[in-house]
Amino acid sequence: MRSGRKAPGDMDEEGLVRLVARGDRAAFEELYRRTSPWMAVRLRRRCADEQIVAEVMQETYLAVWRAAGAFAGTAVGGTAVGWLWTIAARRLVDAFRRRAHHAEPPPAAAAQPVAPAAEEEALAATVGGDVGDALRRLAPELRQVLQAMVLDGLSVRETAVLLGLPEGTVKTRARRARIAMRKALA
């Protein structure tokens, strides 16, 4: 190793992505080692099907290997971890769409009462009491933005990419959600 160059284990995630963009397999392995455990946990919060989670993980890291050169990083206010999560979240949505497209529910399923989504149950377990009640009363589009920005720690840009919305819409919904939460908790 040349002097002055850090080993992949000594770099932050953004540096690892930059090395991956140059085809550095050791950097990719280090990035995977660091990020795959929390990625799997976050995906499982949104999907209980282990097969889908495994597929999404594989597709995500394949996309990272192929598209690491497209990572803009802090130059556009993003982080490597946020970029990874955005890719994973999109792949998860794609997996849900594929499943929905290939599996028509039986007519009797429509008559069944709708169970809360896994994400709603995870949210209820994470945030309880008055705050949890106020969150659950928010309109779904406001709750999605608030969850992405506050609970998942994504930036406005990352939230916009994740939800497929313009940044201005994300900011407006975040403001509306905060106002609604303040009123509900007053």
What is the pLDDT, as a whole number, of residue 104? 52
29 pLDDT above the threshold of 50? yes
Provide, rounded to the nearest whole percent, the portion of the chain with pLDDT above 70: 75
Is residue 119 over pLDDT 70?
A: no
pLDDT of residue 102: 61
pTM of the model: 0.54
Dihedral sign for Cα 52, 57, 58, 62, please: positive
- Phi/psi of residue 104, nearest 5 degrees: -80, 130
Half-sphere exposure of 84 (CA within 13 A, CB side): 25
**Token pair of 38 as six digits:** 């929390």
CA dist 20 → 12, 42, 43, 80 (Å): 12, 23, 23, 12
**pLDDT greater than 90 at residue 3:** no
Q: Which long-range contacts (CB under 8 A, 24 or more apart) does 168-172 make?
A: 170/145
Whether the Cβ atoms of residue 76 and residue 86 lie closer than 8 Å to each other: no
pLDDT at residue 10 tops 80 = no
Question: For residue 111, what pLDDT is reported?
Answer: 46
Show the domains of the chain with their CATH numbers.
7-103 (1.10.1740.10), 128-185 (1.10.10.10)
Report how far residue 154's alpha carbon sits from residue 165's, in angstroms, rounded to the nearest whole number: 14
Task: Give the Cα separation of 120 and 37 in Å (integer).
Answer: 22
* pLDDT at position 14 over 60: yes
Q: What is the mean pLDDT of residues 40-45?
A: 90
Q: Which residue has the tokens 């149950």?
A: 121
